[in-house]
């Protein structure tokens, strides 16, 4: 088994990736929400609402959000299903702290629990959750397959996994435009708003290294899920994978 993995386009030792990714998110945490709005023209908010529409969630459900960041998805779940309980997790302390603060400031902390945790080794018992979500976090995992197996382990029978992630455009011309935007515009936006072009260069590279829609679907099935389908958004720039 190789002891190397990818950090963007760079090849690094497996045991180095988590720290490198952590450094990126410590660096961008304070302006994370602003940059999400700027880079996606605010569309990430719509994508997350679409994710929730596929959740099949009901009142009194127990949900887990992995790589929660500043808590966009837990906030949406809390607003739509106020009697649900959401476990909010992130491996990055800076991001999790911002998520906690936001939950208090925006009044959705009452039905949330927070945990500093890796999605590749979840601190939860088997078959605990009705829903597991992860938005724009899977591509940063060192071992994606291990993370998917953990998601399967903690889901109850009949529970749903939803993965929202950047993917591969289905139109070749659009793909070229998207590449130009990713590698020329996004790092400049990072430099302008966060004074950190390198972190956003990594984020653009990490998107290109992430499995395409069909490959990720097969990985989900390999992790033990019986069914998986995906929905392309914005010509495949983003995809939602739904599995159970």
In a domain, 148, yes or no: yes
Q: Per the annotation, does 72 bind a ligand?
A: no
Range of the domain at 55: 15-243
Q: How many CA atoms lie within 13 A of 231 on its CB side?
A: 13
Tokens representing 62? 């127990």
Question: Mean per-residue pLDDT for 57-76?
Answer: 96
Query: 149 vs 59, which has greater pLDDT?
Result: 149
Across-strand partners of 12?
Answer: 5
Tokens representing 55? 């959740």
In a domain, 8, yes or no: no
CA 30, CA 56: separation in Å to the nearest integer?
Answer: 33
Report the mean per-residue pLDDT for the chain: 93
pLDDT of residue 203: 86
In a domain, 185, yes or no: yes
- Give the sign of the dihedral formed by CA 92, CA 117, CA 236, CA 130: negative
In a domain, 5, yes or no: no
CATH number at residue 92: 3.40.50.150
User: Does pLDDT of 69 surpass 90?
Assistant: yes
In a domain, 3, yes or no: no
In a domain, 32, yes or no: yes
Query: 3 vs 229, which has greater pLDDT?
Result: 229
Q: Per the annotation, does 133 bind a ligand?
A: no
User: Does pLDDT of 136 surpass 60?
Assistant: yes
Domain total in the chain: 1
In a domain, 9, yes or no: no
In a domain, 6, yes or no: no
User: Does pLDDT of 2 surpass 80?
Assistant: no
Per-residue confidence band for 96, with pLDDT thresholds at 50, 70 and 90: very high
């Amino acid at each position: 088994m190789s002891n190397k993995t990818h950090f963007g386009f760079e090849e690094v030792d497996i045991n180095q990736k988590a720290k490198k990714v952590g450094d990126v998110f410590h660096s961008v945490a304070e302006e994370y929400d602003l940059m999400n709005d700027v880079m996606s023209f605010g569309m990430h908010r719509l994508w997350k609402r679409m994710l929730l529409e596929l959740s099949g969630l009901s009142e009194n459900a127990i949900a887990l959000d992995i790589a929660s960041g500043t808590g966009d998805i837990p906030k949406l779940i809390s607003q739509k299903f106020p009697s649900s309980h959401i476990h909010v997790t992130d491996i990055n302390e800076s991001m999790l702290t911002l998520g906690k603060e936001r939950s208090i400031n925006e009044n959705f902390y009452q039905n949330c629990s927070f945990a500093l945790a890796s999605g590749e080794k979840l601190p939860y018992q088997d078959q605990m959750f009705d829903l597991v979500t992860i938005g724009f976090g899977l591509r940063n995992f060192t071992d994606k397959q291990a993370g998917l197996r953990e998601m399967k382990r903690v889901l109850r029978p009949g529970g749903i996994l939803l993965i929202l992630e950047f993917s591969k455009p289905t139109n070749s011309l659009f793909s070229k435009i998207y590449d130009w935007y990713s590698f020329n515009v996004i790092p400049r936006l990072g430099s302008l708003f966060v004074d950190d072009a390198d972190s956003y260069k990594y984020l653009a590279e990490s998107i290109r290294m992430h499995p395409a829609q069909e490959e990720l679907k097969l990985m989900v099935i390999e992790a033990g899920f019986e069914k998986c389908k995906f929905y392309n958004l914005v010509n495949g720039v983003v995809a939602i994978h739904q599995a159970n």
